[in-house]
Amino acid sequence: MTRIPAIDPAAAPAEAKALLDAVQARLGMTPNFLRVLAHSPAALGAFLGLHGIAGQGSLDAQTRERIALALAEQNGCQYCVSAHTALGRGTGLSGEEMEANRRGTSQDDRAAAAVAFARALVTHTGEVTSAEIESVRRAGYGDAEIVEIIVHVGMNLLTNILGKASRIEIDFPKVPLLRPA
C-alpha cells in the first residue's frame, strides 16, 4: 500500500505543476515517482535539474540504464526495476542484457565494468578499493566518466530509497524482482 500518494498534477503547487507539465510534454506521461517528489517542489526541481545535467554527460543512455537496473535490483526497488526496464527497452537494450544488468554484469565487457563499479559503490557506501577504480579505468573509463558513474549511483540511490519508503504505485509494466524482497 502506498505510503506517500502521488500528487495529481492538476492539483500540484504551481511550481511543481509547471515542472510536471514539462515532464508530461516531454515523456507523454508523468511517472508516479515524480508525482511523489512533487510534494516538495524544491525536491522535484533539484532532482529534475540533476537528472538533466547528468544526462548531458559522456555516459551513453544504455550505460545509464544498465546502472539503474543493476542498482534497482541490488536495492530491491520493484518500482525502479519496472521503470528502468521500460526505459532500458527504449534505449535498445535487450531483455537478456537487462537481466544481466540486474544480476550485476553486462554482455558488453566495458559496460560490465561500469555496472560492477556502480554496485561496488553501493555495497561499500563509496569506500571502493583502488583495484575497483583501476578496473573501471582499464575498461576505458576516464575520470570524468567515473565521476558520472558516481553521480548516477547517487541519483539511483535516491530513487530506490524514495520508491521503497513511499511504496510508489508502479505505473510501468510490472517487472518482478529477481530476488523478492
Q: What is the mean pLDDT of residues 69-92?
A: 98
Where is 27: in which H helix or E strand?
helix 14-27
Asked if 63 contacts 109 with a C-beta cutoff of 8 angstroms, the reply is no
Cell numbers linked to 155? 541519483
Cell numbers linked to 93? 537494450
What are the tens digits of pLDDT across the range 116-129? Answer: 999 999 999 999 99
What are the tens digits of pLDDT across the range 134-148? Answer: 999 999 999 999 999
Of the candidates 50, 6, 11, 51, the residue with the CA atom closest to the CA atom of residue 27:
51
pLDDT bin (cut points 50, 70, 90) of residue 181 is low
Instruction: Using CB atoms within 10 Å of the CB of residue 100, give its burial: 0 to 12 exposed, 13 to 18 middle, 19+ buried.
Output: buried
Sign of CA dihedral 4, 6, 10, 12: positive
Residue 7 Cα distances to 25, 38, 47, 169, angstroms: 17, 7, 16, 12
Instruction: Report the greatest alpha carbon distance in the chain.
Output: 50
pLDDT bin (cut points 50, 70, 90) of residue 72 is very high
